Amino acid sequence: MESTILSPLLDRVRTVRPLVHHITNTVTINDCANITLAVGASPVMAEAPEEVAEMVSMADALVLNIGTLSAQQVGSMFLAGEAANDRDCPIILDPVGAGATRFRTSTVMQLLDRLEIAVLKGNAGEIGTLAGADAAVRGVDSGGIEGDPGEICRELAERLGVIVGMSGPVDYVSDGTRVVSVENGTPMMDRVSGTGCMLSSVVGAFAAVSDDRFLSTVAAMAVFGLAGERAAPRAKGPGSFRFKLIDALATMEPSDIIGGARILSL
C-alpha cells in the first residue's frame, strides 16, 4: 500500500474538522481531547444519558473507550451507539483491558453484538482475547499472544464484520480479507499512559472523513506512528515525549509523511 494515501486523508481531517464524540476513561481523557485537536479535528466528551444521544447527532465519529468502565457508562455507550448507528456515524471501539476482567470482556462482547462497530482497535492482548487466541492481559497492559497476529486480526474482522486494528511494536489492520502491517512507531509509546487511547481518537478522526474505514484506519495508525517517530529522538524521557508527540502531529506536513510510512500488504 502506497504511503500516498496518508497525506490527502490528513489534509481532509484538517479541512473538514470532524467532530469526534468520546465516551472514554478519566485517566487519559485530556490526552484524547488534545490529540484530537492536534490531528485537526474537534473533540467533544459527553456521556450523561440526558444529552448523549443529542450530542451524537452532531458528531462525525464516536469513540467508545472502556478504560475506566462503569455500569452507568455502559448505558450511555448504548444510547450513544444507537444514535450513531441511526445516522451512519462510524463507531470506534477501544476495548481497554478486555481480558483482564469479566466485566470488561463481557461489555465489549455486548457492544459488538448490539451495535454496528466500524473499527475495533486494541492491543495484542485485548484483540487476542476477543479473537479467542491464547492472549495475556495484565491490568491494561498487553502480554504476548500465540499465533500469527495478522491472521488473528483477519479472522476476527471476518467473524465480526468490522475493521480490526491491533497496535503494538508492529500494528496490524484487517477488514477480514486484506491484512496490512504498519511498522511506524517508537518504543516510547509504551512509556506514556494513553498512547493507545490517543490512537483511537486519531482513528476516529480519520474514519469521520472516509467511507473506506480499512484505508482510514491504516492511515491513522501510520500517521500517529510517524508522529511518534518524529517526537522520540527529541524527547529526554516520557514526560517530554508526551507533549512532543502532540506537537509532532499538530505540525505534520506532507513532506514528513512521504516515504515515511512503512505499510506492507501481508
Q: How far is the CB of 107 from a copy of itself (least distance, A)?
A: 9
Q: Where would I find the beta strands (DSSP E) of the chain?
A: 19-23, 42-45, 61-65, 91-94, 119-123, 135-138, 141-145, 163-167, 171-174, 179-182, 263-265
Q: How far apart are CA 99 and CA 134, in angstroms?
A: 11
82 in contact with a copy of itself (CB under 8 A): no
CB of 65 to a copy of itself, least distance (A): 13
Q: Work out how close the CB of 202 gets to a copy of itself at its nearest, in angstroms, rounded to a whole number.
A: 14
3-state SS of the chain: helix, strand, coil percent to 5?
50, 20, 30
Contact status: 140 vs a copy of itself (CB under 8 A): yes
Euclidean distance between the first and final Cα of the chain, in Å?
Answer: 10
Q: Segment 163-202, which members bind a copy of itself (CB under 8 A)? A: 191-194
What are the grid coordinates assigned to 13, written together?
481531517
Report the amino acid identity of residue 6. L
Q: Which of 81, 90, 95, 97 binds a copy of itself (CB under 8 A)?
A: 97
Q: Which stretch binds a copy of itself (CB under 8 A): 30-38, 113-121, 144-152, 218-226?
A: 30-38
For residue 86, state whether it binds a copy of itself (rule: CB under 8 A): no
Q: CA gyration radius for the chain?
A: 17
Q: Does 265 participate in binding a copy of itself (rule CB under 8 A)?
A: no
How many residues lie near a copy of itself (CB under 8 A)?
60
With cell 450513544, the residue in question is 80
Site residues, a copy of itself (CB under 8 A): 19, 21, 25-31, 33-34, 37-38, 42-48, 50-51, 54-55, 58-59, 67-71, 97, 100-104, 138-141, 191-194, 235-240, 242-248, 250-251
